[in-house]
Amino acid sequence: MSRLIVVSNRVSPPTGAGEETVGGLAMALAAALRQYTGLWFGWSGKTVPAFTGALDTQTIDGVTAAVVDLEEADLDEYYNGYANKTLWPLFHYRTDLAAYDRAYGAGYERVNRRFAETLAPLIGPDDLIWVHDYHLIPLARELRKLGFRNRIGFFLHVPWPAHQVFTTLPNHGALVSAMFDYDLVGFQTLEYQLAFEEYVLSEARGVQLTANSLQAFGRTLKIGAFPIGLDAVDFARMVKSPRARRMCDQMTAATVFRSLIVGVDRLDYSKGLEERFEGFDRFLADNPDMRREVLMLQIAPVSRESVEAYREIRGRLDALSGRINAEYADVDWNPFRYVNKNYRRDELAGIYRAARVGVVTPLRDGMNLVAKEFVAAQDPADPGVLILSRFAGAARQMHQALLVNPNSPEEIADALKRALAMSKLERIRRWGQLFENVQLDDVTAWRDAFVGALACANVSRAALAS
């Protein structure tokens, strides 16, 4: 039987019940791998003075992880550089923040080559290889160069931008050409798939063979939309855990006679945090009679702090949150709690359950699993309301949320007012449909759809030899 080899930049095998604080990608991959024989390969998160390619392998909770250290220059040029200063801002429509530096591009190529060479001895002839996210787009090309003909799939967790945005990337053709070394490329939504198709057809003079296959660069590629979901079973268990219950009780006690509004995001400029804070500010300004009836809690653990844009936004958010409290707080009360700490997922589940409103308003987001976790954590008899950005991939599935333009503090303020005033009947009706979708389109459905499509991707590798 063929094994599944998952490759991603970050490798975070589960450490035990609920204590993980890692992001959506890592949780989804851990859940996906638990059902398959195989391994998860990627970066250890550590650096060494010179790259050795030595593998550290361990099996935790049924998942075997093999990780490799990178060297300092790799961290600067590949992770902080090309991945997070070039591709991340570009894919999230922040061309103003995207840095173009040939050293970053070279570092990106080098690390992808190193990953391929380190992984090579672990690959069996029938193994399926599933590569994840923008850090590793050229990995299949490097593996093909080493002679591998295995089926290799790629899943992009972040948005694929519109043609005009993507073409601001110098040497964009080379990146897309490398994607044609995969057998299958998956996107979070049909919208991203169509944006990719448009690029291939108009810029690379490709040909659409069927609704799900393209020909370009002398090769054929299967593509598709595979919206990622939650590990719904695991999350339901987590919501009932003692730690989640305790956190829920704690938050309920802290908000007696008040409604809790909650946001949970990695501290990233793509998450729309400034606009959200301004939206809350406007809500307080517009609704003096409701001021003492709400508490907004924003949890935003810091991330990628070596990148200047992240340090800058952190400073702006500190100032904004301070200003909101200074403006509206009273001797016995303040409206806003802004926390940069990381919380365990079971604790977050408890916080979500205690909240009347969940605010998920990224300016751009591939999917956003916080939106799904918020829904999964609610009390069916008295659920909270989800306010969701129309520019999160999740909005394509979660139509019963209150959809907003995250660029508009006014719209956010209006949605807060509407959510807080919503009748229980309407909350139950909206939540019921959202929850059904979260359960149905879960991480298992995502994994099975992608792996199933990859297993029958029958692309001829003959052209690759040339």
Comparison of 2 and 303: residue with beta carbon closer to ligand F6P? 303
Task: Choose the stretch contacting ligand F6P; rule: CB under 6 A; options: 17-25, 100-108, 189-197, 338-346.
Answer: 17-25
Task: Choose the stretch contacting ligand F6P; rule: CB under 6 A; options: 20-28, 51-59, 334-342, 421-429.
Answer: 20-28
Comparison of 69 and 133: residue with beta carbon closer to ligand F6P? 133
How far apart are the C-alpha atoms of 33 and 444, rounded to whole Å?
10
User: Is 10 a residue that touches ligand F6P (CB under 6 A)?
Assistant: yes
Tell me the sheet residues that pair with 403: 388
Contact 214, 221 (CB under 8 A): yes
How far apart are the C-alpha atoms of 376 and 354, rounded to whole Å?
13
Comparison of 173 and 301: residue with beta carbon closer to ligand F6P? 301
Task: List the strands of the sheet with 184-187, edge to edge.
Answer: 55-60, 63-71, 38-48, 4-10, 128-132, 152-155, 184-187, 219-225, 213-216, 207-210
Tell me which of 6, 11, 25, 119 binds ligand F6P, using CB under 6 A: 25
Tell me which of 144, 222, 304, 314 binds ligand F6P, using CB under 6 A: 304
Minimum Å gap between C-beta 310 and ligand F6P is 10
User: Is 23 a residue that touches ligand F6P (CB under 6 A)?
Assistant: yes
Minimum Å gap between C-beta 362 and ligand F6P is 11
Comparison of 303 and 433: residue with beta carbon closer to ligand F6P? 303
Contact 1, 16 (CB under 8 A): no
How far apart are the C-alpha atoms of 21 and 10, rounded to whole Å?
13
Contacts of residue 179, defined as CB under 8 A and 6 or more positions apart, other chains included, come to 137, 140, 154, 185, 221
Residues within window 194-223 making contact with ligand F6P, judged by CB under 6 A:
none
The contact pattern for ligand F6P, residues 151-190, with x = CB under 6 A and - = no contact, is ------xx--------------------------------
Comparison of 160 and 328: residue with beta carbon closer to ligand F6P? 160
Task: Choose the stretch contacting ligand F6P; rule: CB under 6 A; options: 21-29, 92-100, 103-111, 175-183.
Answer: 21-29
Tell me which of 127, 183, 234, 365 is the catalytic residue. Answer: 365
Minimum Å gap between C-beta 458 and ligand F6P is 29
SS3 of residue 183 by DSSP: coil
Question: Residue 174 corresponds to which amino acid?
Answer: A
Contact 298, 277 (CB under 8 A): yes
* Largest Cα–Cα separation, the chain: 74
- Tell me whether residue 365 is one of the annotated catalytic residues: yes
User: Is 92 a residue that touches ligand F6P (CB under 6 A)?
Assistant: no
Comparison of 369 and 413: residue with beta carbon closer to ligand F6P? 369
127 is written with which tokens? Answer: 């193994």
CB atoms within 10 A of CB 435: 18
Q: What is the 3-state secondary structure (H, E, C) of 387-415?
A: EEECCEHHHHCCCCCEEECCCCHHHHHHH
How far apart are the C-alpha atoms of 162 and 90, rounded to whole Å?
10
Q: 4-10 and 219-225: which strand pairing?
A: unpaired
Minimum Å gap between C-beta 442 and ligand F6P is 17
How far apart are the C-alpha atoms of 311 and 269, rounded to whole Å?
10
Q: State the Cα torsion 465-152-71-86 to the nearest 10°.
A: 100
Minimum Å gap between C-beta 304 and ligand F6P is 5
The contact pattern for ligand F6P, residues 108-147, with x = CB under 6 A and - = no contact, is -------------------------x--------------
Task: Choose the stretch contacting ligand F6P; rule: CB under 6 A; options: 18-26, 179-187, 293-301, 451-459.
Answer: 18-26
Contacts of residue 341, defined as CB under 8 A and 6 or more positions apart, other chains included, come to 299, 301
User: Is 301 a residue that touches ligand F6P (CB under 6 A)?
Assistant: no
Minimum Å gap between C-beta 158 and ligand F6P is 5
H or E element at residue 142: helix 139-145
Task: Choose the stretch contacting ligand F6P; rule: CB under 6 A; options: 23-31, 46-54, 326-334, 396-404.
Answer: 23-31
Size of the site for ligand F6P (CB under 6 A): 11
How far apart are the C-alpha atoms of 249 and 251, rounded to whole Å?
6
Task: Choose the stretch contacting ligand F6P; rule: CB under 6 A; options: 22-30, 205-213, 271-279, 316-324.
Answer: 22-30
User: Would you please indicate which residues are annotated as catalytic (active-site) residues?
Assistant: 157, 365
Contacting positions for ligand F6P (CB under 6 A): 10, 23-25, 133, 157-158, 266, 303-304, 366
